[in-house]
A and B are shown apart, each in its own frame.
Chain A
Amino acid sequence: MTPLFLASTEVWLDQLVNGLTTGSIYALIALGYTMVYGVLQLINFAHGEVFMLGSFAGYGTLVALGGNDLSGGMVAVALILAFLAAGGASLGTAVAVERVAYRPLRNAPRLAPLISAIGVSVLLSHLVDDGFLNGGAKFYPQIFPDGDIELGPLQVTYLQLFLMGSSLAMMGVLYWIVQQTKTGRAIRAVAESRDNAALMGVNVNRTIVVTFALGAVLAGFAGVLYGLFFSSIRGSMGFLPGVKAFTAAVLGGIGSIPGAVVGGYFLGLTETVGRELLNEIPGVNLPNQWKDVIAFALLVLVLIFRPTGIFGQKESKRA
């Protein structure tokens, strides 16, 4: 029997795992976009840089605690501290950015906050690249134990498993906060209607800050996971994951939390498995960069044929 595909089963399964891994990172970042968009109808262009600064804070913590020399139980301790530092740094950045660059423009013409957001994004990425790194990159210490786990036919490294598992856990916590706590109810109320929420006694300004903060903490966590997985980090690292995470948020239906998660995994899988599928066409051998083309083409297609995304309910045309 001739095989159905040119690539072997292992290649497909590898791509599946890769897709789920990058998809986890996209999903974590996408949650920040979708929540901020939900309450402010603003594309937080600086969210990629919030993610980047979280990654650097995590890197700083890991290196300060011993870097490549860490071993055994200390790795776990160092990782927890790195996550805390990253979450804290991202949270601080996002709250400061909201206060300085977005809040004064809340009732300004619609393009003003967008330009301000782009300004913050350029400022922060170049501050790190030109101000501190002189255009170079930093490399995360390789502290994760090597080794694979066999899950049936799937081969997954410890790092990949940790990455997928911890992102799922963080998303679960966020979902609980938004659905079950009083703060979460306030966020949902402000997203529904800012004016009505204010009339019902919700502190709108505080809720908006909390929304930024929650999204930022997840982005900071994602920054550490990105660093652990891809190793090299730099000031401009936030741009591409940022745009793709926004794509994921739109795919899922902007404003929807389950949508952002599903969109993130969907985008991760489409990029990796999609490129492999295209390579199945005889004579086609696409370089890795084509996964970006696939991601953007997917965004265009979704917006044209289903602008509300997978989970979106409301008309998003007027976005």
Chain B
Amino acid sequence: MPSPAARWKDARAASWDRLPSAARPLAWLILSLVVLFIPFFDDVWMRMFFLVALYVTLGIGLNVVVGLAGLLDLGFVAFFALGAYLVAIFDSPVSPAVNGTVNYWVLLPAAVGVGALFGVLLGLPVLPLRGDYLAIVTLGFGEIVRILLLNMDNITRGSSGLYELEKPAVAGYRVDAVSEFYVMIVIAAFVAWFATARLRDSRVGRAWEAIREDEDVAAAMGINTVKYKLMAFATGASIGALGGAINAPFIDFVAPQSFTLQVSINVLALVIIGGMGSTQGVIAGALILVGVPEVLQFEETANLLEKLGWLRDGMNTAIDGLNGLSPMNLAKLPPADEWGEKLALYRFIVFGALLVAIMIVRPTGLFPSRRREMEFAQTSDAELPAGGTV
């Protein structure tokens, strides 16, 4: 038996070697940029980066459930809420159920554990379901959890929410600045990535992928499908709870209205848009679906757009010309200083349009894993199951 250290080195090397050689320096570059460039950005930008990294973490968690095990989960927000509420209930001075506070570093692993437990509990009843049915039932679970949180006034304070959370402390130093929380969530994302990458390359990961390809065949090959499906739910749920537990002291206001279906949709969409099963896909998906709508709200974006006034004038001249050619009465572009405001207002419309456009241009996502790409190339109409009778 090689020593644990040597085994860890082998394992790390195995994950690393899977990256294309060109991507390795790029990965280091991105990693160092992520940390080194923090001082250049103000809190507004850091908040955006935090949000992107949070969604990367959540995406990595959901990727296990959807991308690896093929279980379509639209209720992921439930676990995110669970982690946030676990921290808030024990660390908020307004919490009606608990007096005093518990150390954050006790609650964080507890959130991961409770997340895994609830992943199993919610996974048990949906074990026999597949595909779209699973999606709609998990969606229902997510909504039930939100309504329960809203109505359990004596624990959650309903829509008034829990706030003024105790900030996490490291050796007497309280984590408070946006950039410090950002470092925390980046570490969490790396832990989640490493854990899931190791699981993916293990016997467990192969069992998940076998279940994803064909559950009946996997069962026939001796894979305990119940055990591995529950493991997938538990792994995903614990990472979701981890994200929630870090987000709670950051936003410092935990209320049911933050845990809507839109969160589940965002996470699922970025996993699928990135290309299921790949981590670089999750990062790209989070940047596009979470980062872009946030950037559209920035004042800088509005200022930048204002500088494009010449472009607007040019376009309007062209529109005038077109209108002169035929009486189409094309509308002119609004003044450039209104563009930023309009973009911020319309960011969800942009989000929806992006989802449709990316799916049509690249149905397998932006960075599909090679194995999945080959698998999809073979899917044909004839393989689709027959529907019910009308």
Contact = CB atoms under 8 A, between A and B. Distances in A.
A122 B352 CA distance: 5
B272 A111 contact: yes
B100 interface: no
A303 B390 contact: no
Contacts of B4: none
Nearest to B354: A119
Contacts of A114: 72, 132, 135
Most buried by A among B345, B352, B354, B376: B352
A37 B385 CA distance: 12
A304 interface: yes
Nearest to A122: B352
Interface string A101-141: 10011111111111110111111101100110000000000
B355 A303 contact: no
A272 B81 CA distance: 28
Contact of B387 (A104, A239, A255): A255
B1 interface: no
Interface stretch (B6-14, B145-153, B194-202, B220-228): B145-153
A121 B387 contact: no
B276 interface: yes
Nearest to B353: A123
Nearest to B348: A126
Contact of B349 (A130, A178, A313): A130
A290 interface: yes
Given A250-B133, A303-B137, A101 B388 contact: no
B72 A289 contact: no
Given A38-B387, A112-B359, A296 B144 contact: yes
A34 B136 CA distance: 14
Contacts of A270: none
Given A110-B131, A318-B130, A191 B269 contact: no
A123 B137 contact: no
A300 interface: yes
Interface in A67-120: 100-101, 104-116, 118-120
Contacts of B66: 111
A292 interface: yes
B173 to A, nearest CB: 41
Secondary structure call for the A interface: helix
A130 B344 CA distance: 10
Nearest to B386: A193
A122 B261 CA distance: 11
A256 interface: yes
B143 interface: yes
B154 interface: no
Give the interface size bracket for A toward B: 35 or more
Contacts of B130: 317-319
B106 interface: no
A257 interface: yes
Contacts of B131: 110, 318-319
A37 B386 CA distance: 10
B355 A122 contact: yes
A304 B387 contact: no
Contacts of B133: 250, 303, 307, 316-317, 319
B381 interface: yes
A314 interface: yes
A100 B356 contact: yes
A292 B349 contact: no
A113 B289 CA distance: 18
Contacts of A217: none
A41 B269 contact: no
Contacts of B125: 300, 304
Nearest to A289: B147
A39 interface: yes
Nearest to A211: B390
Given A105-B360, A289-B150, A318-B131, A257 B390 contact: yes
A113 B273 CA distance: 12
A313 B346 contact: no
B253 interface: no
A317 B389 contact: no
Contacts, number: 199
Given A116-B360, A118-B265, A187-B390, A297 B355 contact: no
Contacts of B136: 43, 243, 246-247, 250, 299
B363 A118 contact: no
Q: Which of B348, B351, B353 has the most CB of A within 10 A?
A: B348
Contacts of A290: 147, 151
Contact of B352 (A109, A119, A297): A119
A177 to B, nearest CB: 11
B150 A317 contact: no
B352 A121 contact: yes
Interface string B109-135: 000000000000000011011111101
B298 interface: no
A115 B359 contact: yes
A122 B390 contact: no
Nearest to B345: A130
Contacts of B265: 118, 122
A296 B346 CA distance: 31
A264 to B, nearest CB: 16
Nearest to B131: A319
Contacts of A105: 359-360, 363
Nearest to A239: B261
Contacts of A253: 388
A317 B385 CA distance: 10
B353 A300 contact: no
A47 interface: no
The 10 A-B residue pairs with the shortest CB-CB distance, nearest first, are A255-B388, A119-B355, A123-B352, A296-B140, A108-B363, A122-B352, A126-B348, A112-B363, A119-B356, A116-B359
11 contacts: A114-B72, A122-B351, A123-B352, A188-B389, A253-B388, A257-B390, A293-B147, A297-B144, A300-B140, A304-B126, A317-B133
Interface of A: 34-35, 37-43, 100-101, 104-116, 118-124, 126-127, 130-131, 178, 187-188, 191-195, 239, 243, 246-247, 250, 253-257, 287, 289-290, 292-293, 295-297, 299-300, 303-304, 307, 312-314, 316-319
Given A105-B363, A123-B356, 9 more contacts: A37-B387, A107-B381, A112-B272, A116-B356, A126-B346, A130-B346, A130-B349, A243-B136, A316-B388
